[in-house]
Amino acid sequence: MAGYLLRRLGFLVVSLLLASVVLFLLLRLLPGDPANALVSVGADPDQIAAARHELGTDQPLLQQFGTWLHQLATLDLGHSFVSSLPVGSEIVTRLNVTVPLTLSAFVLAVLIALPAGFIAAHRSRTWYGTLLSAVSQLGIAVPVFWVGMILVTVFALHLRVLPAGGFPQDGWSDPGNAVRSLVLPVVTVALVMAASLTRYVRSAALDVLGSDYLRTARALGASFRGAMWRHGLRNGVVPVISVLGIELATTLLGAVVVENVFALPGLGSQLAQAISQHDYPVIQGVLLVSTLAVLVIGFLADLVQRLIDPRLRGRLSGAAAPSAGGTR
């Protein structure tokens, strides 16, 4: 297991390094000059050149990249070109909104999707099983911002029980208003995510319900609940875990849409603002933190899969996986 963990951690570090190279190069290839954010309209070439020198964008690319790598080695993401504030502290402040939003929506989506997906599979020939499948399919096709607008119209404009957007200036120092401001965004993300997860859970449940090992366990006298708990759960949850990791990472990266709809000061809105201002340090910092989060989520999902599945666990420990035919 130790060898597997070292290999995966090494892969994570290499992936993060490659991502930093790609992010740095792609930003420099995009049109636009970040020096324009520091000068007024109609500035002369000398003023623009002075702004570039102040930002360091007039240096050779290799030197700029070396400076950024040195900053990363010291856990320093640099300072914003526009506000001159430390990028790291600004990202931490924004994560106080994005992380609770993402995790709460993820937990709610899982609580909805697991029973809905199993019922849709187990009762696939009933009207409510078919209805669950149809609703989940429809939910996949609905844009997340459209769901958010409907919820705002109903609960904020008509019923007036929840705020339409924004976040308290005091942040989590005012927990009541902070939670109320996140209710609609969380429900919006959770409904869209649950629709997608329900389809995957239904597919995994159908595979388990039609499997030979489940029929054999039932033929040997096990109850349906006992057979599902002892044999079906472990086999069905393994493919779902990888999907859960992908959904969680996708929600974190896609927070920009929901945060813009509800005017939340999160990581997504920070990224959108930085892109419009060509604020390279902020863009690099946000994308690097997002990439790290995706890599860590993938690593944890892979680890959980191997701990649950005995066949993958054998690979994790370096032992040979048990063959389907058993021992001779």
Q: Which two tokens stand for residue 180?
A: 């109320």
Q: pLDDT (tens digit, 9 = 90+) per residue, 191-240?
A: 988 888 888 888 888 888 777 777 787 787 777 777 777 767 777 777 78
Q: Is pLDDT above 80 for 184?
A: yes
Q: At what angle do helices 175-209 and 144-151 cross, to 10 degrees?
A: 130
Give the count of domains, the chain. Answer: 2
More confidently predicted of 323 and 207: 207
Q: Say if 217 falls within a structural domain.
A: yes
Is residue 33 domain-shared with residue 140, that is, in the same domain? no
Whether 69 is covered by a domain: the verdict is yes
pLDDT given at position 271 = 85
Say yes or no: 183 and 291 in one domain: yes
Q: Please tell me whether residues 128 and 50 are part of one structural domain.
A: no
Whether the CA torsion 234, 237, 241, 243 is positive or negative: it is positive
| 21 and 65 assigned to the same domain | yes
Residues 14 and 133 in one domain: no
Q: Are 177 and 189 in contact (CB under 8 A)?
A: no
Return the structure tokens found at 177: 């208003």
Which of 20, 48, 73 is the endpoint of a domain? 73
Per residue in 100-135, pLDDT (tens digit) is 999 999 999 999 998 998 888 888 888 888 888 888
- CB under 8 Å to 127, separation ≥6 — which residues? none
Residues 6 and 303 sit within 8 Å (Cβ to Cβ): no
Same domain, residue pair 26 and 153: no
How much is the pLDDT for 112?
Answer: 92
- Give the range of the structural domain holding residue 236, as residue numbers without chain letter: 87-317
Given 50, 73, 96, which residue is the final one in a domain? 73
Distance CA 242, CA 160 (A): 39
